[in-house]
Amino acid sequence: MTRGRRSAARGPGWAALLVPAIAAGCGDADTAAPTETGPASIVVLAGGDQRGVPARPPAETIAVRVLDADGRPVGGSTVTFQPEPGHGSTDPASTISDAGGEATTTWTLGATPGPQRLAVTAGRAGATVRAEAIDLDAELDALFAPVSAAEVEAVRADWARRDVSAAGVSVELTEEFEIGESTATLRIVSHVVAGARHFGAIIVPDGAAPETLPLLMYTHGGDGGVSVDDIGIVTLALGELSPRFVYVIPSFRSEPLRHAGRSWVSEGPSGHWDYDVDDALALANVAFETTPEARPDAIHIVGGSRGAGVALLAGARDPRVERIVAFFGPTDFFDDWIRVVAWKTALDGPWDLTGLVHLDSTVVQPLVRGTLSTSEARLALVRRSAVLFADDLPTVQVHHGTADFVVPVSQAESLMRTMAALGRTAPDFEAFIYEGGGHDFLSLVGAIPRAVEFIAEALQPKGDP
């Protein structure tokens, strides 16, 4: 009995020794459960040291990785994101790290400008994410301060360095085209501007003698490209005068030129207003070099909205531009309206108006994030403000409505004040303001006949009254 009791007492001890030995001898060692360690450190992957608008999330989501003591990712760990008092909130406030040890959150900064801190913890591990809530009003005060003569000259120097010569010209399509009751030849051409292939249309009335037709450019509004048929707005208004011009229709980079079910998309990133001018002037040079019927070295432009701003800037840059008709276009990017636009886009992103996505992504948001300096942002606005180059403008006729909610009439009024200060009056400069008129040619009663009479002056031989 005693021996039996000793045997029974000894049994469990032997079993404890034998089971691991059997497992080691009969199974795969890799199937043994690995030893796990908890979080030892947290690495900030994204979102650190950002600038942003108070009470808004900065541009980058906060992303971290949880690591163990050997530097391996720790999945399944609870990660907590806790801003310091007054430094905003996070969503989510805590989450579980994924298999790669990563966890993310959106940090809405506190409402008070200044440094902000966010504590990130997982077990005993921790890290701090820092940000700066900017003083938006102070930033905008600096951005919209009065423009200096040095800034204007810096932009002139930049423009002078740009190459808008006719380069890499290719004819993509040639076909008959009707202008009212007259026939013409349409050419879709491509050429190279700043290393990118650009497309445009040139329309030449049939039967014209060499160097007899003024070149009339149409610069379109909107962000959606242009159709060759859009020139019908101009030719219909000109009526019987329409066969007496060569027409040039630029697309703008990253946007399509459309005709008869086909589309040609100009290359390069969008460059609203500023680089639109490069595309337009380069196409004019193509037209002069490839169109014997065109009068050499004189450009006349009709533009609406975005295209009106492009027309005015082209007139400031190129002395060959002789007359411009500008319908409800931007003239002054230091106007109070643009400041309101910048303030709103900085807070909530751009609303759906032509060019505002571009302005937000290339100027406002980089300024907020600190990736674009105030001086660089100011030059971007100078390059889009024809009013700052009023001395260089050719003969201009402006049309704008008081009920325009796309481009407010203050833009026309800014140019009017500047031209008056320079002593430029009719017929050198004319401005017509239409009570109740909107962002639409037809809502500006009497504008089209005035524009036709103005453009018809281009038909006069140079030197004639």
Q: In the predicted model, is pLDDT for residue 400 greater than 80? A: yes
Cβ proximity of 249 and 234 under 8 Å = no
Question: Which pLDDT belongs to residue 177?
Answer: 97
Provide the CATH number for the domain around residue 435: 3.40.50.1820
Residue range(s) defining the domain that contains residue 69: 41-134
Check whether residue 292 and residue 394 sit in a common domain. yes
In a domain, 344, yes or no: no
pLDDT of residue 461: 77
Last residue of some domain: 134, 157, 183? 134
Same domain, 119 and 48: yes
| Model confidence, pTM | 0.87
Backbone angles phi, psi at 179, to 5 degrees: -120, 100
Sequence-ordered list of residues with C-beta below 8 angstroms from that of 431, at least 6 positions apart, any chain: 397, 398, 399, 400, 412, 415, 416, 419
What does the pLDDT average to over 318-331? 98
Query: pLDDT by residue (tens digit) across 119-130?
Result: 999 999 999 999
Q: What is the biggest distance separating any 2 CA atoms in the chain, rounded to whole angstroms?
A: 138
Distance CA 132, CA 119 (A): 15
Tell whether 119 and 183 lie within a shared domain.
Answer: no
Going by pLDDT thresholds of 50, 70 and 90, the confidence category of residue 463 is: low
Closest CA to 430 of 330, 329, 324, 334: 324
With contact defined as beta carbons under 8 Å apart, do 37 and 67 qualify?
no
Q: What is the per-residue pLDDT for 383?
A: 98
- In a domain? residue 371: no
In angstroms, the CA 225 to CA 258 distance is 8
Q: Each residue of 83-119: pLDDT tens digit? A: 999 999 999 999 999 999 999 999 999 999 999 999 9
Same-domain check for residues 220 and 284: yes
- Is 105 inside a domain boundary? yes
Cα(184)–Cα(160) distance, rounded to whole angstroms? 35
Same domain, 194 and 313: yes
| Residue 283, token pair as written in the block | 């196409």
Long-range (24+ apart) CB contacts under 8 A made by 250-254 are: 250/198, 250/200, 250/217, 250/219, 250/226, 250/276, 250/279, 250/280, 250/283, 251/198, 251/199, 251/200, 251/225, 251/226, 251/279, 252/225, 252/276, 252/279, 252/310, 253/193, 253/196, 253/198, 253/279
Same domain, 128 and 171: no
Segment 139-178, tens digit of pLDDT: 999 999 999 999 999 999 999 999 999 999 999 999 999 9
- 134, 153, 180 — which closes off a domain? 134
Would residue 25 count as lying in a domain? no
DSSP string, 208-251: PPTT-EEEEEEE--SSS-EEGGGGHHHHHHHGGGGGGSEEEEE-
Amino acid at 382: V
Instruction: Give the per-residue pLDDT at 247.
Output: 98
Residues 169 and 289 in one domain: yes
Query: In this predicted model, which residue has the larger pLDDT, 457 or 465?
Result: 457
Which residue is associated with the tokens 């400031």?
316
Residues 6+ apart with CB under 8 A from 313: 273, 274, 276, 277, 383, 384, 386, 389
Residue 464, pLDDT score: 53
Q: What is the pLDDT of residues 264-298, one digit of tens each?
A: 999 999 999 999 999 999 999 999 999 999 999 89
With respect to residue 63, please indicate whether it lies within any of the assigned structural domains.
yes
β-strand 213-219 against 294-304: which pairing, if any? parallel
Task: Indicate whether 31 belongs to any domain.
Answer: no
Q: Is the pLDDT of residue 187 over 70?
A: yes
Helices (H) and strands (E) in the chain, counts: 12, 21
What distance in Å separates the CA atoms of residue 190 and residue 288, rounded to the nearest whole number?
A: 14
Statement to judge: residues 311 and 452 lie in one domain: yes
Residues 241, 459: contact at Cβ < 8 Å? yes
pLDDT at 180: 86
Q: Are 386 and 309 in contact (CB under 8 A)?
A: yes
Q: Please calculate the CA angle 84-89-92 and round it to the nearest 5 degrees.
A: 120
| Cis amide leading into 319 (omega within 30) | no
Q: Read off the pLDDT of each residue in 18-42 and give the average, rounded to a whole number.
A: 48
Q: Are 271 and 255 in contact (CB under 8 A)?
A: no
On whether the CB atoms of residues 195 and 163 are closer than 8 A, the answer is no
How many CB atoms lie under 10 A from the CB of residue 204?
Answer: 22
- Shared domain for 295 and 411, answered yes or no, is yes
**Has residue 118 been placed in a domain?**
yes
Res. 351 pLDDT band, cuts 50 70 90: confident
Residues 6+ apart with CB under 8 A from 421: none
Q: What is the mean pLDDT of the chain?
A: 91
Exposure pattern of 75-88 as b/e (b: 16+ CB <10 Å)? eebebbbebeeebb
Q: Where are the beta strands (DSSP E) in 194-344?
A: 196-205, 213-219, 226-227, 246-250, 256-259, 262-265, 294-304, 321-327
Q: Is pLDDT of 30 > 90? A: no
Name the pLDDT band for 5 (thresholds 50, 70, 90).
very low
From the centroid of its chain, how far is CA 98?
36
At 36 the pLDDT is 54
Where do runs of H (alpha helix) occur along 69-148? 136-143
Find out whether 302 and 216 touch, Cβ atoms under 8 Å: yes
Helix (H) or strand (E) holding 46: strand 41-46
Does residue 178 share a domain with residue 58? no
| Tally of domains in the chain | 2
The enclosing domain of 106 has a CATH number of 2.60.40.10
Q: Of 7-21, 44-58, 406-420, which range is least confident?
A: 7-21
Q: What share of the chain has pLDDT > 90, as a percent?
A: 88
Identify whether residues 193 and 316 lie together within a single domain.
Answer: yes
Q: Is the pLDDT of residue 354 over 90?
A: no
| Sign of the CA dihedral running 390, 391, 394, 395 | positive
The answer to the question of residue 139 being in a domain is no
Q: Quick one: 177 and 90 in the same domain? A: no
